Amino acid sequence: MKITDVERKEVKKVLKGFNSEKRKTKEEIFYDLCFCICAPQTTFISNNKVQKALREADFYREDIPLEKLHEMVKPARFFRMKSQRLIEAKELFNTWLYGYVKERLDLLSRKHPSLFETELRDALEYNVKGLGMKAASHLCRNLGCTEVAIIDTHVLKFMGLNLSDISSRTKYAEVEEKFKAIAKECGMSSVELDAWIWKKYSNTSWDDFIY
């Protein structure tokens, strides 16, 4: 495995947009949450279509009827279930979830210990329906976490593993620790190696690395 200096610079450049010290607005965090709920088993391009529709309809501020939401979320797999999950997540977000996330981000920006990152990821996975370990890790990365790993199909392929190897929280955590060790050997953080793998296997432009 050869990671060039140019690739390392590109990774660092694109991940600056997710720096925990670069505070996102409440609305930006909300749409990050929506993206991660819609992400499982959905392509990046299809999910971007969903997010564009949600933003154009101002889902953050407006109460959208479920049937109309179905049409907007349709590019994603299991769009009916995910539409319901979005409505439930919006209620959580507006009652207590945003406050909790903001509190955790305050700690991360001051100390940035991996303990707080794991705590935030596990709380999201436990409380938000539709966020498994992978999607919750994805959201944490978008909020500035550097050590949680998004163990998706690309990373599994890179590691010579398959979906059965992350079929439980315990298994996911075990694979994550192995991935962290690989990243350390490469002289990268977990999210840096994760981003490099995503680019390598997805053939997506760095310009599209917005979630």
Distance CA 50, CA 44 (A): 10
Distance CA 86, CA 80 (A): 10
pTM for this prediction: 0.88
End-to-end CA distance of the chain: 26
Q: Give the pair of three-digit tokens for residue 146.
A: 């550097």
Spatial CA neighbour of 138 closest among 56, 53, 38? 38
The string of pLDDT tens digits covering residues 2-23 is 888 888 888 888 887 776 556 7
Note the pLDDT of residue 144.
84
The string of pLDDT tens digits covering residues 184-206 is 999 998 889 998 998 888 777 77
Show the domains of the chain with their CATH numbers. 5-208 (1.10.340.30)
Note the pLDDT of residue 204.
72
Q: DSSP state, 187?
A: T
Q: Please, are residues 77 and 50 in contact by the beta-carbon 8 Å criterion? A: no
| Stronger pLDDT, 168 or 203, i.e. the higher one | 168
Residue 145 confidence (pLDDT) above 90: no
Distance CA 72, CA 66 (A): 10
